[in-house]
Amino acid sequence: MLLEVAKAGEIAPGGMKFVKAGEREIVVCNSDGRYYAVDRRCGHMSGPLEMGALDGTIVTCPMHHVQFDVTTGEALNRPVPEYIDEPLPGRWAEYMKHFGTLMANTSVCNIKTFPVKVDGGAIQVEID
Amino acid sequence: MNVESRKRSLRYFFAKVVEPLGYKFTPDAELAEYLLEQETHLEEKHGSPFCPCQGLTQNHEANMKIVCPCIPFHREHFDYMKRCWCGLFVQKDVSDPDSLPQISYEEFRKAKDASGSGEGR
């Protein structure tokens, strides 16, 4: 099913737009004038990718800095651990230790990509 | 994680950082591929693409100064050698990277002190 998700020119080069298309949440990326569409949710912990950064064809998740190639959906790295140089108060220290264990056991999956077509002034995405 | 894909993305980001500093990837393509591959393994293990030729310590601040490309943290030293420590990057005018010796920080300091100037680290 081909859906119009944006007007050409609506997304600046280097920009991204979150679109809800039926049950799908997707992000349309403008990589130097070429458009790509990917699943909105990061393949690590489902962070909203449109709130991250797009550089060339690489999007970086705002949560743990996992990167994906928007042309293929391929995950390019593992999450980058946060470093906190001050001791945390008791319960927070326990929580962060627990969270760290979860993070270490959370795999990073590739994200889905969707075919994009620019027809006249409309950007359309093929949603399955 | 696919190592080849990660190497390509590191190349993409590194080039943007080192170019304004007057550096480029070494013309020794085989060496560059090898070093980038080691960095992807270090990133997989430790979370950051650390320099493969410098040892990690328990000092986080010191470790952060060897995340590739680490040129900004060792500028005067590397400018003196015309290359970074591991040799992944050389200054733009370098065409024969094998001719550039790796000079220890201590030797560099001695040379700078002898000439009357030096950098803090």
Q: Measured between beta carbons, which residues in chain A are less than 8 angstroms from residue B5?
A: 69, 74, 76
* Contact criterion met (CB below 8 Å) for B40 and B28: no
- Under an 8 A CB cutoff, do A77 and B48 touch? no
Write the pLDDT tens digit of every residue in A24-69.
999 999 999 999 999 999 999 999 999 999 999 999 999 999 999 9
How near does any CA of chain B get to the CA of A77, in Å? 6
Q: Which of B5, B12, B44 is nearest residue A78 as measured by Cβ atoms?
A: B44
pLDDT of residue A54: 98
> Among residues B35, B28, B27, B22, which one has the least CA distance to residue B91?
B22
* Contact criterion met (CB below 8 Å) for A118 and A128: no
pLDDT of residue A55: 97
Listed by start position, the domains of chain B span 3-115
| Chains A–B, number of C-beta pairs less than 8 Å apart | 33
- What would the two tokens of residue A6 be? 């944006």
- Under an 8 A CB cutoff, do A69 and B9 touch? yes
How near does any CA of chain A get to the CA of B89, in Å? 22
- Under an 8 A CB cutoff, do A76 and B13 touch? no
Which amino acid is located at B104 in the chain? Answer: S
Q: Measured between beta carbons, which residues in chain B are less than 8 angstroms from residue A74?
A: 2, 5
- What would the two tokens of residue A110 be? 């590739």
Q: Measured between beta carbons, which residues in chain A are less than 8 angstroms from residue B43?
A: 77-78
- Under an 8 A CB cutoff, do A78 and B12 touch? no
Structural domains in chain A, CATH included, are 2-126 (2.102.10.10)
A29 touches chain B (CB under 8 A): no
DSSP 3-state helix, strand, coil percentages of chain A (rounded to 5)? 15, 40, 50
Q: What length is written for chain A?
A: 128
> Among residues B70, B81, B88, which one has the least CA distance to residue B28?
B88
- What would the two tokens of residue A40 be? 């909105």
Cis status, amide bond into A115, omega within 30 of 0: no
- Read off the pLDDT of each residue in B62-84 and give the average, rounded to a whole number: 97
Class of domain B3-115: alpha beta
pTM, whole model, 2 decimals?
A: 0.87
For the ranges A78-87, B23-32, B97-106, the lowest mean pLDDT is seen at A78-87
ipTM for this model: 0.80
- What would the two tokens of residue A82 be? 């946060």
Backbone dihedral region for residue B80 (phi beyond 0: left; psi -120 to 50: alpha; all else: beta): alpha
